[in-house]
Amino acid sequence: MNSYPLARRLAAEGLGAFFLFATVIGSGITAEHLSRGNDAVALLGNTVATAAILFVLITILGPISGAHMNPAVSFVAASRRGLRWPDAAAYIAAQLAFGILGAWAAHLMFDLPTLQLSVKARTGLGQWAGEAVATFGLILTILGSVRFRPSWTPATVALYITAAYWFTSSTSFANPAITIARSLSDTFAGIAPHDVPLFIVAQLIGAAGGALLARLLFDPEPQRDGHAAASA
């Protein structure tokens, strides 16, 4: 359990979500403007910016709140008793509220209407599978890093997301809160609101699968009895 007061942890989660979501949406706007219609170049710019801010935010905020910035991560942390369920609910509320503020801040910075809804369709079995796989891998990356190389967690998460932007069909949202925030932005990073629910379902399925496999792969095996320990 984290020793910092809940208020400080919520401030860290809110700050992290604000800057992460602002980066995803803002870098998407910049990339789309500068790429002159080349979607591959735009996605590359969006990828690099997202990975960079993830590394920074996890490094500076991880020691305070864990730097979840993602309801799926908070849900898994609570299921593994690393976070109290009421605290997880508060984390998720902060992630969503401040993440939406980050999306609106991106709109403000680029002189776009603050309130908008995306019309970009992201649906179908392939996209849902992409989100399940992306979130599955993200949870494995986080739990494996925390278990074996905690100091590498910022780098491993940033690198995983860099890869997942390109190897998944959905460009790896892997985060229910940012999925909702991106539905409120009719920009390069957007998703139509009616496509959000099944994206979130796929993300939660992927997170649950990742948590289950992580328990098998990474959790230490319980000591069965004293005789076995003595003879080992």
pTM over 0.95: no
Could you tell me if residue 225 is inside a domain? no
Q: Which of 25, 51, 212 is nearest to 106 (CA)?
A: 25
Total domain count, the chain = 1
Could you tell me if residue 228 is inside a domain? no
pLDDT the model gives residue 99: 98
Q: What is the CATH number of the domain that holds 200?
A: 1.20.1080.10
pLDDT the model gives residue 227: 46
Identify the segments of the chain with pLDDT beneath 70: 1-2, 222-232
| Coil, strand or helix at 232 | coil
Could you tell me if residue 23 is inside a domain? yes
| Residue 137 burial (CB count, 10 A) | 20
Could you tell me if residue 60 is inside a domain? yes
pLDDT the model gives residue 224: 59
Query: Domain range for residue 14?
Result: 6-218
Could you tell me if residue 62 is inside a domain? yes
Could you tell me if residue 144 is inside a domain? yes
pLDDT the model gives residue 222: 67
CB-based contacts of 11: which residues, under 8 Å, 6+ apart? none
Query: How buried is 176 (Cβ within 10 angstroms: 0-12 exposed, 13-18 middle, 19+ buried)?
Result: buried
pLDDT the model gives residue 2: 66
| Residue 3 burial (CB count, 10 A) | 5
pLDDT the model gives residue 230: 39
Could you tell me if residue 135 is inside a domain? yes
pLDDT the model gives residue 220: 86
Could you tell me if residue 224 is inside a domain? no
